[in-house]
Amino acid sequence: MIDSYLPSERSEHSDPAAARHASDYYRNMGKIQMTGWAKVRAFTVVFLLGQDEDGDATVATITLANTDSGWRQTNAIAEDDTFEVIWTALHTGGVR
């Protein structure tokens, strides 16, 4: 899971407990499908919808950067106002 991040961000995600928590989070989402994406400067924000066995839905986003070694996850725009607008729209039904 750590290898999915940009090399410069891997140390931020190397804590075993945090990695286990992230792994459990995605595993518990159940069946995951991509519902859309948005370009924010050089990054692509992917919208995910997970549905567990009970039918409970979870919405998540992943920000990706296209690198020479392929797509890598990043937190580069986590504090960016544009990302906050996208996140809010996604969770209030404003993203289509």
| Domain total of the chain | 1
| Residue 14, in any domain of the structure | yes
| Residue 61, in any domain of the structure | yes
- pTM higher than the cut 0.85: no
CATH number at residue 39: 3.10.450
Which backbone phi and psi does 63 adopt, to 5 degrees? -100, 130
Closest CA to 4 of 31, 53, 14: 14
Q: How far apart are CA 45 and CA 37, in angstroms?
A: 5
When pLDDT is averaged across residues 69-91 and rounded to a whole number, the result is 86
When pLDDT is averaged across residues 67-92 and rounded to a whole number, the result is 87
pLDDT tens column, 54-77: 989 988 889 999 999 999 999 999
22-43 burial: b if 16+ Cβ within 10 Å, else e = eeeeeeebbeeeeeeebeeeeb
In this prediction, residue 19 carries a pLDDT of: 81
| Residue 96, in any domain of the structure | no
